[in-house]
Amino acid sequence: MAAASRLSEIAFECLVRLSCVMLDSCMEYDEFELAYRLLTHTAGFVMVTKFKHIEEEGEIESVVSMTSRIGLHPIFANLGVWRTVMSLHLRDRLSEIKSEANLSDDESEEDEEEGVLAYEAAVATLYEMVGYGIPGEELSRFAMQASEENGWFCDDRGRQLLLIARRIAIRRDQVEIGGAGDQDYMDLISNSQESESASSSLPIAEIDTRKWREFGWCHPAAPPSVIRQDAKAPELTSGLMKRSPITALASFGSSVIASGGVDGSVFLAIPDVSDDNETAPKVRGIHLDWGSASRASTGLSSDGVYGVGAISCLAASLGSGQHVAMKSSKDSTNDTSRQEAILASMEGSRVVAGTTAGDLRVWSVKDIYSAVLASQKGEDIDTKSMFGGGNVSNRLKFALRGRALAGHRGGVTCIDVPSHVYRPDSLVTGGADGMIKLWSLRALTTGRKSSSMVNSPQDADSVGNQSRGGDALSIFTGHSGRVMCVLSAWHGDRLLSGGADRTLRVWDLAGGNAKCLNKLSGHSGWVTMVKYWGPNTVVSASTDRSIALWDARLRDSPLFMLRSHSSPVSDFLVGSRTDPMMVSAGTDGTISTWDFRKLSGSRSTKTGTPDNDDSQHCHVVRVPSRTLNHGVTGVEKLATSSVRLARGFSNSTSSFLSVGSDAVVREWDIASGQPLDSFGTGHCDAITCFESFGQSHGMNPNICSPSRLHEGMITSSWDGTIRMRRLSKI
């Protein structure tokens, strides 16, 4: 449309509700093209609203487009819609070319031209997604999947497409629509049509065509580095092996799982997840070396700076090798070519561990896997290794030792791995020293000078000691207590942090100047978890028993404070910008579900300084959408202590999992709060780590089109065991 059609509020809301009902039907039957056509037909319809500006007197008009409201429907978070749009663009373009010129019959030229046109269609789809207000995370997911399906990671087109997605999404998000920031978006969410019946539809048929396989192994207490094979689940109860209580867990889906123990050891396990294996599941594993034992025997002091304590945090850094390996793996017909594809998929993947003593170390998964294979075969299978293809035992020793970074004084408290697409080979850590450090995981240049920003005398002392273990690229200072959590944005240019000083901070990672962009205050306890919901909306949890929603661009105080738990918040789940549901859990065993669409209209109280500007107040909401209790089974109520959450199996957007100290996993429907399933994990002590994973989270190079269905979960416990439950084909 050349001009916008301004509608009254009643007419606008009526059309929005009617469109949402039609989209519900499209979502039920996967009518992606019809959903896209409906979205295009709503272009040009707008509604004008007025609101009071915080800093200026009078009212300001805000224009709300119908596409921005329709685009919030869950169907547009399904990449199938945008794959359909891309195919429509490609089909139209091919029809135009064939109708204009029928002079050439060279099929090779036509195939090459079609590949170029497919890339152009993908770029056009990205710009169309931005125009319709689709979140930047969805643009990145579409660019990633389109590049994988078309083999664009084999050349530079895949990376170019991902960079285009980030650039246009950031440019869109930086524009303030009506000057309201994300608070205006919160109003859109609260006024949008509810689609609970559509979003709660479960792909049960996809689960029925698969079966569950259970894996179990233990975390051996730190012995010398010896390869362990065939660690079957029945051997866990033999009592012949010394185990270490597990304090941290990190995984690459079901492919590689790393666990950290209270004795400071890190154990790397590789389960045999092949679907054609009908025997008892097997797990191969090996201990990683911190270098402390080598120091005692050889006198070396270059490995580590502060000594080894208990493992406080683990992270799995996924490399870019999996995208390159996907195309080559299709032609893998024997074990050798399959191993080569697996090694290629491990390129750039690393395991990172931090300890309570301040140690920080990085291991290359590919180097460890290739060195283990070489030692088993008695030959060097990878002559291009960083170890020069020398002696096999030396390769294995250096691979297991990894690479030491300088770490933090007082202990490493949190680790975050930024996007491997937009900020590859990077690592962010927080410590008890109140510092946040940005690291490069590329090959270390011995003795290089630090490029960190030194903001205090203690920083200078820390930087001076880093020549032995690796320097941080940037050091972010500002928190007056220990840093409890860090999280980078999907595009890798922003960083969130929460600390014991009861503040949240937003940092600039793109500028390289360690600049704090925003300081957010409002919690009365330690900030233990932070997550993004949209480009500027931040969700945080605290030991003060509350969850806060912030608009980082609009003001430094929270918009909403959610208070329903009678104890500190232990975990919470929040989806993408198109998913308005959130789930929180407390250390008292209670679970609450929150619908962002209902926050503005819910029963709430207001806190803040008394003035005439109502926008400065914080709305306190005490009544959630649903209140659940993990320990309630029928009429019996069990004590479950702290509850941990993960995405569900039935549908990761409409169901979730919970587990407590009872070692029982329960799956719930978010909309209704009804239990869907429950099963025991087999642990005999408190759960320490819990996560679910999808098909796209691992290193399997044969998976090219990941399903939205989560395929399994992993738990670890103080009893020293790890349990994995995974869906396999029947």
Residue 627's φ and ψ, nearest 5 degrees, are -120, 120
Q: Is 21 inside any structural domain?
A: yes
Q: Which two tokens stand for residue 310?
A: 């208990």
From its phi and psi, is residue 253 left (phi > 0), alpha (psi between -120 and 50) or beta? left
In a shared domain, residues 279 and 389: yes
Q: Is 296 inside any structural domain?
A: yes
What pLDDT sits at residue 709? 54
Q: Is 579 inside any structural domain?
A: no
Strand partners, 581: 595
The domain boundary residue, chosen from 406, 431, 456: 431
In a shared domain, residues 196 and 234: no
* Residue whose entry in the numeric block shows the structure tokens 């949240």: 504
In a shared domain, residues 361 and 267: yes
In a shared domain, residues 258 and 142: no
Residue 444 is given by DSSP the state P
Residue 253's φ and ψ, nearest 5 degrees, are 60, -135
Give mean pLDDT in consecutive 10-residue pieces for the chain, a chain of 730 residues: 75 90 90 92 84 58 82 84 93 84 55 78 92 84 89 86 90 57 49 43 48 89 51 40 89 91 91 67 85 42 53 88 50 62 84 93 90 69 45 80 89 93 90 94 50 38 39 90 94 93 93 84 95 89 94 86 93 83 91 85 52 64 90 59 85 82 90 88 91 67 46 91 83
In a shared domain, residues 190 and 263: no
In a shared domain, residues 137 and 273: no
- Pairing of β 537-542 and β 547-551: antiparallel
What pLDDT sits at residue 159? 87
Amino acid at 153: F
Distances (CA, A) of 577 to 73, 137, 198, 389, 487: 10, 9, 17, 48, 17
In a shared domain, residues 236 and 154: no
Q: Contacts from 76-79 at CB under 8 Å and sequence distance 24+?
A: 76/35, 76/39, 76/132, 76/134, 76/138, 76/578, 77/138, 77/576, 77/578, 77/579, 77/653, 78/27, 78/32, 78/708, 79/138, 79/141, 79/142, 79/145
Sheet containing strand 590-595, strands side by side: 569-574, 581-586, 590-595, 626-629
3-state DSSP call for residue 77? helix
Spell out the residues 6+ positions from residue 60 whose beta carbon is closer than 8 angstroms to its own. Answer: 50, 51, 52, 53, 178, 179
- In angstroms, rounded to a whole number, what is the distance separating the alpha carbons of residues 506 and 501? 15
- In angstroms, rounded to a whole number, what is the distance separating the alpha carbons of residues 678 and 24? 29
The domain boundary residue, chosen from 408, 431, 454: 431
Evaluate the CA torsion angle 381, 384, 389, 394 in order and state its sign. Answer: negative
- In angstroms, rounded to a whole number, what is the distance separating the alpha carbons of residues 290 and 266? 8
Is 564 within 8 Å of 623 (Cβ atoms)? yes
In a shared domain, residues 90 and 172: yes
What pLDDT sits at residue 281? 73
Evaluate the CA torsion angle 640, 643, 647, 653 in order and state its sign. Answer: positive
In a shared domain, residues 290 and 358: yes
What pLDDT sits at residue 641? 74
Q: Is 573 inside any structural domain?
A: no
| pLDDT tens-digit series, residues 426-448 | 999 999 999 999 998 875 543 33
The domain boundary residue, chosen from 384, 400, 431: 431
In a shared domain, residues 188 and 244: no
Q: Is 80 inside any structural domain?
A: yes
Q: Is 566 inside any structural domain?
A: no
Reference 405, options 306, 317, 313, 471; nearest CA is 471
Angle formed at CA 426 by CA 420 and CA 429, multiple of 5 degrees? 125
Residue 181 lies in domain: 5-100+107-200
- In angstroms, rounded to a whole number, what is the distance separating the alpha carbons of residues 245 and 259? 10
In a shared domain, residues 170 and 242: no
Spell out the residues 6+ positions from residue 98 whose beta carbon is closer than 8 angstroms to its own. Answer: none
Residue 282 is given by DSSP the state -
Evaluate the CA torsion angle 3, 9, 11, 12 in order and state its sign. Answer: positive
| pLDDT tens-digit series, residues 559-604 | 999 999 999 999 999 987 777 889 999 988 899 999 887 876 555 5
Per residue in 228-252, is it b (16+ CB within 10 Å) or e — as a string? beebebeebeeeeeebbbbbbbbbb
In a shared domain, residues 420 and 318: yes
Distances (CA, A) of 652 to 113, 203, 571, 669, 693: 38, 10, 17, 10, 10
Is 659 within 8 Å of 690 (Cβ atoms)? yes
Q: Is 447 inside any structural domain?
A: no
What pLDDT sits at residue 451? 36
What pLDDT sits at residue 187? 52
What pLDDT sits at residue 272? 82
- In angstroms, rounded to a whole number, what is the distance separating the alpha carbons of residues 426 and 195? 39
Number of domains in the chain: 2
Is 166 within 8 Å of 422 (Cβ atoms)? yes
Q: Is 512 inside any structural domain?
A: no
